[in-house]
Amino acid sequence: MKYLKVIAFTHKQIELKELGRLVMCQEHLTDKLHDVKARFGISEIFYLSTCNRVEFVMSTPQVVDKEFAHSFMQALEMGLCSHSTNTFLDAASIFEGQEAMNHLLRTSCSLESLIVGEKEILAQLRKAYENCKEAGLTGDSLRVVMNCIVKTAKEVYTNTNISKNPISVVSLAYRKLRDLKLCTNARILIIGAGETNRNISKYLQKHRFSNFSVFNRTLANAQKLANELGGEAFELADLKTYSKGFDAIITCTSAIEPIITPEIYASLLNGDTDKKTIVDLAIPNDTAPEVLEHFDVNFIEVHSLNEIAKKNLQERYQELVHAEAIIEQNIAEFLVMLKQRKIELAMRQVPEKIKEIRNNAVNTVFAEEVQGMDKESREILEKVMNYMEKKYISVPMIMAKDILINSN
């Protein structure tokens, strides 16, 4: 576990609006991660980006400190000036070994989330890992870490009330939208067809909203969500020419530059002067600041949900104790499992070596004696040797595990 390292930028130390500047463009993400992986001697790595955190999880023997993190971020070419990079690094948290594991488990159980008790973070963590796994960025070390992360999170959500009557960024955003009392035939533009927008769309559909237009970079994904909502699908570029009007925009994309610019917003209004609503759950925001300066808008964003989030934490405080106990137990079990794996890896050649000794004994050292035995005697010898071979493999393995696990 000593090679497990995490560089974390979270809502606890960094304003959410600022955190958006650390989000990396998906188009070049894999190439950049492969580059830093090779350049810094990192064995395995994956990148996690959510509405309240950007983290790099890695397995590496390298010393990961602020100096390493500075070089690492520069190599990623995140578009930050030297002053901004230093400011972010001053607010970064760096974990290693057991502390890194504890941080990842707490994160997966939502204990480190803006909204404690929301389950989306586990899905986001798994997806981030799977994406990097498919890109060849991870291996066996992070695989066993992820197995423990998923197991622990499921136990916490099952055996505590931390997610009872669950709320999330999406549900809180919907509550604020509901308070604006939009009519159910309101024209709603959904920009982005990812998990967040799919989730908030379910709330809208459940409460009988029915007039949807979905925009996405990939038309097929827009079409899939539009079919579920009974709406129309468009490519993201079609926003510039869309002229059917709207009452509310719900947007959440992975873009690192604003999608809704003053020009596009004015075009979407198409001369309408009524006050509109924008629900922007993207980090960084999809809405350019100038839109809010030049137009009268009901604006709902992740940052504005902070006060509700704090109240939610107070309500669930008692459950944190139970969740932390489960985490502690899983870390203890994980440490035992790592010791067992260490023995298994160290002794994986033992069976082959024993087979070599057996074959050498039968075919070379005692070849003449074996050949001189009758059929029945050879069968008995074969049974004895099979029995001994299994014991010579299993007994040392069991003893070695016991010695290592029980040693200080």
Q: What does the mean pLDDT of the chain come to?
A: 89
Residue in 117, 122, 148, 144 with CA at minimum distance from that of residue 133: 144
pLDDT band at 338 (very low <50, low <70, confident <90, very high): confident
Q: How far apart are CA 23 and CA 79, in angstroms?
A: 10
CB 315 within 8 A of CB 170: no
If 0-12 CB within 10 Å is exposed, 13-18 middle and 19+ buried, where does residue 345 land?
exposed
The whole-number pLDDT of residue 165 equals 64
Write the pLDDT tens digit of every residue in 359-382. Answer: 888 889 999 888 889 889 988 988
Encoded tokens for 195: 């998990």
Q: How far is CA 82 from CA 15, 31, 211, 233, in A?
A: 19, 23, 47, 42
Residue in 93, 76, 78, 32 with CA at minimum distance from that of residue 284: 78
- Whether 232 has a pLDDT exceeding 90, the answer reads yes
The mean per-residue pLDDT over the stretch 132-150 comes to 95
pLDDT band at 408 (very low <50, low <70, confident <90, very high): low
pLDDT band at 349 (very low <50, low <70, confident <90, very high): confident
Write the pLDDT tens digit of every residue in 288-337. Answer: 999 999 999 999 988 777 666 667 666 677 788 889 999 999 999 998 88
Q: How far is CA 21 from CA 209, 284, 304, in A?
A: 34, 6, 18
Q: How far apart are CA 48 and CA 36, in angstroms?
A: 16
Write the pLDDT tens digit of every residue in 54-81. Answer: 999 999 999 999 999 999 999 999 888 8
The mean per-residue pLDDT over the stretch 15-29 comes to 86
Percent of the chain with pLDDT over 90: 55
Q: How far apart are CA 102 and CA 68, in angstroms?
A: 22
* Residue 195 burial (CB count, 10 A): 14
Q: How far is CA 90 from CA 11, 76, 83, in A?
A: 14, 18, 11
The whole-number pLDDT of residue 128 equals 95
Encoded tokens for 29: 């993400």
CB 166 within 8 A of CB 319: no
Encoded tokens for 25: 């463009």
The whole-number pLDDT of residue 315 equals 67
pLDDT band at 406 (very low <50, low <70, confident <90, very high): low
Beta bridge partners of 274: none
Q: How far is CA 84 from CA 13, 74, 88, in A?
A: 14, 11, 6
Element (H, E) at 321: helix 317-346
Q: How far apart are CA 261 and CA 289, in angstroms?
A: 8
The mean per-residue pLDDT over the stretch 340-356 comes to 76
